[in-house]
Amino acid sequence: MTKKPRTDKVTNTQKGKAAKAPASKAKAKKPSNKRVIKDEPVTLIRWRLGVILFCVFAIFFALVARVAYIQIIEPDNLIKQGDLRSVRVKSLPSARGIISDRNDEPLAVSVPVQAVWADPKTIFKEGGLAEKDRWYALADVLGLEREGMIDKLERNKTKRFVYLQRQVSPAMANYIRELKLAGIGLKAESRRYYPTGEVSAHLIGMTGIDGHGLEGVERSYDKWLTGEAGKRTIRKDRYGRVVENISLEKREEGKPLQLTIDQRLQAISYRAIKQAVADYRATSGSVIMLDVKTGEVLSMVNAPSYNPNNRATLQSFLMRNRIITDSMEPGSTVKPFVVLAALENGSVDMDTVIDTGNGLMQIGGSRVRDTSAIGKADLTTILKKSSNIGVAKMALDMPLEALLGMYSSVGFGEISGLNLIGETSGIFPNRRRWSNFEIATLSFGYGLSITPLQLAHAYATLGNHGLYQPIHIIEGNREDLSKQVIGEENSNLVLSMMETVTQPGGTATKAAVPGYRVAAKTGTSRKASAGGYSDEYVAITAGIAPVSDPRIALVVVINEPQGDSYYGGTVAGPVFAEVMKGALQILNIAPDENKFKPN
């Protein structure tokens, strides 16, 4: 039996020898414990790929849809947001129109000034208020309290625009430029300047700091004077540089306005009434002058007045145009219209004689008195001596409607149509029942209230031979709206009667003007108070000149004169004479040979 060789032993031996052979190498390199991973083919998971591709395309289509929505369907919002950040609209203010008198003398003009503004964000970005001396210099030139201005800037750190001062002069603006303060800018604007100052302040009025009218003609005709501001639309980049001019709307300059007043007459009227108010320590005084033939306002002044160029001294009670806002009981100045009403009604004529007795007339439980007994008197004497009893008897002998109709036809109780802010219509009586005493008092100016303007308009109608001419203050009004409200013959008769009032023996001798025939009437009315009448008076003189060819109607009112002299003829008469004389000379009206001299 043959034995098989033990190959396994040999193999093991060889393995042992082989293992022993590189013994030195085994010491040098230790066997690694890392597991060797053999490469295997990658298997594609299709559902995962589908999910990823679906998400990618979904996001893509969502973005495309969003872009399409923004760009095509609703682009306005982003355009608006972009415009808010880049588009700027710059206002181009129009110059306010000039106001001038009938001779083209300027009464209100616009002058260039600057507004000082600050950009607090830029100020603090550029170093803030480190150089205090320069900032204090800015506060001083603007008339601001130093620390107050600093606090204002610090309170508005995040803002880009804050006004520091408006309407500074060019000299101040140049000084501010030289300071070279970061974040401080100047903006061009205009300021209203009134060359006549306080003389025409009540009539012209004034504008606010933004250039819109607040009082007088400035307010009533604000839209006409202001015009339309222009507008420039531009686009700026992030550095403030203009990159596109988008549009330009041209501005429409304000239109000029020419008034009917004559500044020379304004000046002499204001000087006279201001002096009278001071002399008699009166509360106020007013003068209104009308052109009889055209209805133009030639002069309208009040005292005390105010300076519209100095806003620091403005007080509301000084800014009221009393000629149109304050009503008064006219007193004896309405007596010519009572005589007119009686003549028009036919209850009296030029041959009528009225017995006024001993200057005292009993009506029910009340009495009517005259300042002096004149006995039996004709119509001329009744007006000359200003008899309350004479006109009361005339009023009681005619229908009440005739008297009220006369008052209404000459403009009492009506707005004048001058279009001035604050005008009142007064108080025109309208009762169902009238006592005889109420009718009597109505005939000598009590029981109704009118404005000085209404009284002047009534006298202008009388001087125009009974032709009612609407009054106006804007030059160029050629519309004829006149109407005959009083008979021409009767108007001329009463005008002749009124001329005797300024002659010796009349109540208005101090209203006479040498060389001219003047028809006037004075009035003194007590001021109403709670429960009756006070001890304060209103002195009035109203009249027309020259009688031969009436041109001017003038009314002078002095409110609450102090002292023993408070009668219309004594207080207001001299003012009337002074203003009327100056007006007749300035207007170059020829004398009509008045042979009487004032006392």
If you count them, how many residues does the chain have? 599
* pLDDT-based confidence at residue 463 (cuts at 50, 70, 90): very high
Angle formed at CA 531 by CA 529 and CA 533, multiple of 5 degrees: 45
Confidence tier at 17 by pLDDT (50, 70, 90): very low
The single residue of 110, 220, 286, 332 carrying the catalytic annotation is 332
Question: ∠ CA(462), CA(464), CA(467), 5° rounding?
Answer: 85
- The pLDDT confidence band at residue 479, using thresholds 50, 70 and 90, is confident
Residue 286 CB-half CA count within 13 A: 26
Residues 504-529: pLDDT tens digits?
999 999 999 999 999 999 999 988 88
Give me the mean pLDDT over the 204-224 stretch. 91
Residues 326-372 have pLDDT tens digits of: 999 999 999 999 999 999 999 999 999 999 999 899 998 889 999 88
Q: What is the 3-state secondary structure (H, E, C) of 220-253?
A: HCHHHHHCECEEEEEEECCCCCEEEEEEEECCEC
- Confidence at residue 12, expressed as pLDDT on a 0 to 100 scale: 44
Alpha carbon distance 82, 22 (integer Å)? 82
Give the residue from 511, 497, 504 showing the smallest Cα distance to 568: 511
Most confident among 190-199, 205-214, 225-234, 260-269 (mean pLDDT): 260-269
Q: Which of 406, 203, 443 is nearest to 308 (CA)?
A: 203
pTM of this structure: 0.80
Q: Are 332 and 294 in contact (CB under 8 A)?
A: no
Q: Name which of 373, 597, 357, 336 is nearest 490 in CA terms.
A: 336
Q: Active site includes 366?
A: no
pLDDT tier, 36 (very low <50, low <70, confident <90, very high otherwise) = low
CA distance 201 to 309: 10
Kindly state the helix (H) or strand (E) to which residue 533 belongs, with its residue range: strand 532-545
Q: How far apart are CA 202 and CA 321, in angstroms?
A: 5
Q: What's the whole-number mean pLDDT along residues 395-420?
A: 93
Q: Which helix (H) or strand (E) holds 349?
A: none
Question: And the tokens for 24?
Answer: 């030195």
Longest dimension (CA), the chain: 200
- Strand, coil or helix: what is 167? strand
* Percent of the chain surpassing pLDDT 90: 54
Pairing relationship of beta strands 99-100 and 257-258 according to DSSP bridges: parallel
Range of lowest pLDDT (40-44, 121-125, 436-440, 528-532): 40-44
Q: How many degrees, rounded to 5, is the angle at CA 70 between CA 67 and CA 73?
A: 115
> Which pLDDT does position 22 carry in this prediction?
46
Which is it for strands 230-236 and 242-249: parallel, antiparallel or unpaired? antiparallel
266 and 302 in contact (C-beta within 8 Å)?
A: no
If you average pLDDT over residues 82-88, what whole number do you get? 76
CA distance 484 to 512: 29
Q: Which helix (H) or strand (E) holds 21?
A: none
Pairing of strands 106-118, 99-100: antiparallel
Mean pLDDT score, 580-591 = 95
- How many CB atoms neighbour CB 470 within 10 A? 16
In percent, how much of the chain has pLDDT > 70? 91
Spatial separation of the C-alpha atoms in residues 227 and 506, rounded to whole Å: 54
Calculate the average pLDDT of the chain.
Answer: 86
Before 546, cis peptide (omega within 30)?
Answer: yes
Question: CA–CA separation, 316 vs 281, rounded Å?
Answer: 20
Q: What is d(CA 271, CA 301) in angstroms, rounded to the nearest whole number?
A: 10
